[in-house]
Structure 1
Amino acid sequence: MAQRHAYILDRVKKEGNVRVADLLAALDVSAVTIRKDLALLEEKKLLFRTHGNVSLANPYTKDRDVNEKENILADQKTRIGLKAAELIEPDDAIIIASGTTVLQLARAIPKEMRLTVLTSAMNISMALLDKPNVEIVQLGGIVRKTSTSVTGNYAESILDNFTCSKLFLGVDGIDPEQGCTTSNMMEATLNKAMIRTAQKTIILTDSSKFGRRGFGKICMLNEIDQIITDDGISSSMVQDLENIGVEVTIV
């Protein structure tokens, strides 16, 4: 039993998120035995279980203040934002949603570039104010103070008047079963409307979000086109995403 537990913990530590089915195949034991092993390890607070998966980190996200989140994996977010800026073309019309990683994208947009940006986040608009050739369309609605962004029916209705080439979307969780999620239900609804408005959906997220789940479901993984993330993502997650047609860019 001790050897099984050591194997399980070592694999979860290396991969971050592991399927129970993969553990069953590797250890060649019964499902009952694996369930008992995982229950014991979870009781000792050595891992967390969700349906069909185990992870080291608590998979359920909570709503945190944007100022707190901006300091988490700041270097990775900066690199992701710089890479995403390379995808923007002159005279593009794009949507930048809310979040600390997409904020780095806004900051990375060249000052001389001409484009139109729709955004729900006031801090995104503020980051674009010193770029004279960027036309900013600020969505209106109910302000979420923790994210400095707006939500609600009014913001969603404004999107009906536009068609954009790309949506750059931040998320709180990416899970193989639950898809892309956020910690706020109303923001998830607005994000869905953004996906309908854009021709291409690009997720910008640091690797800590993989295997995590938020309260509000945005979309399934096969509904997105590309993910830009850092090299902390596991090879198995990259393979799963590419198998369903998602382009994965690692910085």
Structure 2
Amino acid sequence: MKRHQYILDKLEKDKYVEVLDLCKALKVSAVTIRKDLKFLEDKGLLFRTHGGASLEDPYINDRHVTEKEKISVEEKSGIAQTAAALIVENDSILIGSGTTVQALAKCIRPIGKLMAITSSLPVVLELIKFKDVDVLQLGGYVRHSSASVVGSYALHILENVSCSKFFLGVDGIDLDYGLTTTNLEEAQLNKKMLASAQKTIVLADSSKFGKKSFARICHLDQIDQIITDKGISPKILTKLEDMGIQVITV
């Protein structure tokens, strides 16, 4: 059927389609489009989402950090280099957990003094190489899958902290639902870090867009900037910029 082929071609190009856009393009009702999407999903050709469909399963499950390190390595490296260039002389920064922010830590070359506060053990191991970097490791229970800490101790420390930037890694970015991660306690800690920073910068490769996981960190209107790779869908890029979010693609 021509409609089905149009939907699949559009997905191949944009990675994500919305029911309302398909209605306008194909001049049919939302009921018809939803039936088309269900048919194509039953065939294993797409995944239905809230208000649309995507090529990949939008739901993210927890994976170990050693597994995630092997995914999108080149993209994460480019994102990390760009993010590192935003750190200025005598800066104070917060760094979350995840493999993209670990890549950031490897790219940091401090100018003057740098204060870095982080929940990530691998980030600490990278930054203690520099004598001009003061590192505050948040305390708490260590999550084995992410090699980072969570819990009330970390939250308490952040009560008395204010930094210029928060570099946040996420598992999923959904335009409606917001930023998510696979662990509820980690999401709570990220919320607290966000509140302790003047500016929140999300580091996420393009595979994270259109994805959703268990625990919401925040809505998109609470972040300032996203650094991603050029694989991001042009449609998603436009929508983010319309929300007032600065997006840097590398």
Structure 1 counterpart SS, 2:217: strand
SS at 1:60 equivalent: coil
Counterpart residue number, 1:221? 220
- In structure 1, the partner of 2:37 is 38
Q: What fraction of aligned residue pairs are identical, expressed as a percent? A: 53
Deviation at 1:154, TM superposition (A): 1.1
- Who is 1:108 aligned against? 107
Partner of residue 23, structure 2: 24
Once the two structures are superposed, residues 44-68 of structure 1 have per-residue CA deviations (whole angstroms, 9 ceiling, x without a partner) of 1110111102100000001000011
Q: In the alignment, is residue 54 of structure 1 matched against residue 53 of structure 2?
A: yes
2:245 aligns with 246
Quick one: distance in 1 between partners of 2:162 and 2:210?
32
Where do 5+ consecutive residues of structure 2 fail to align?
Answer: none
Shift of 1:76: 0.4
Q: Does 1:89 align with 2:88?
A: yes
Q: Describe the SS at the equivalent of 1:146.
A: coil
2:13 counterpart residue number: 14
Residue aligning to 2:204: 205
Offset, 1:20? 1.2
CA deviation map 1:211-235 (0-9, x unaligned): 0001000111111000000000011
For the residues of structure 2 that align with 1:112 and 1:224, how far apart are their CA atoms? Answer: 26
1:13-38 superposed Cα distances (whole Å, 9 cap, x missing partner):
11111111111111111122111110
- C-alpha separation between the residues in 1 aligned to 2:34 and 2:223? 33
State which drifts further: 149-158 or 223-232.
149-158
CA distance in 1, matches of 2:92, 2:165: 7
The aligned amino acid for 1:101 is: T
**Counterparts of 2:164 and 2:76 in 1: how far apart (Å)?**
23
Equivalent residues in 2 for 1:53-72, closer than 5 Å: 53-72=52-71
The answer as to whether partners of 1:20 and 1:52 remain within 8 angstroms in 2 is yes
- Tell me which residue corresponds to 1:152: 151
Deviation, 1:167, is 0.1
Cα displacement (A) at 1:161: 1.3
Distance 1:39 1:113 in 2: 57
Q: Which residue of 1 aligns with 2:76?
A: 77
- The runs of at least 4 consecutive aligned structure 1 residues that moved more than 4 Å come to none
Q: Is the 8 A contact 2:171 2:181 kept in 1?
A: yes
One-letter code of the match for 2:134?
A: E
* TM value normalised by structure 1: 0.98
**CA RMSD, aligned part only?**
0.9
Give the letter aligned to residue 181 of structure 1: T
Count of residues paired in the alignment: 250
Instruction: Report the CA distance between 1:191 and its aligned residue.
Output: 0.4
Deviations 1:179-211 (A, max 9, x none): 111111110010000110000000000000000
- Superposition pairs for residues 156-235 of structure 1, below 5 Å? 156-235=155-234
User: Is this contact kept in 2: 1:112–1:132, CA < 8 A?
Assistant: no
Separation in structure 1 between the aligned mates of residue 23 and residue 2 of structure 2, nearest angstrom: 14
Give the C-alpha shift of residue 113 in structure 1.
4.5
**Is the CA contact 2:88–2:111 (under 8 Å) kept in the aligned structure 1?**
no
Query: Partner amino acid for 1:40?
Result: F
User: Which one is further off, 30-39 or 220-229?
Assistant: 30-39
Counterpart contact for 1:183–1:214, Cα < 8 Å: yes
How many Å separate the matches in 1 of 2:204 and 2:159? 26
Q: Secondary structure at the match of 1:189?
A: helix
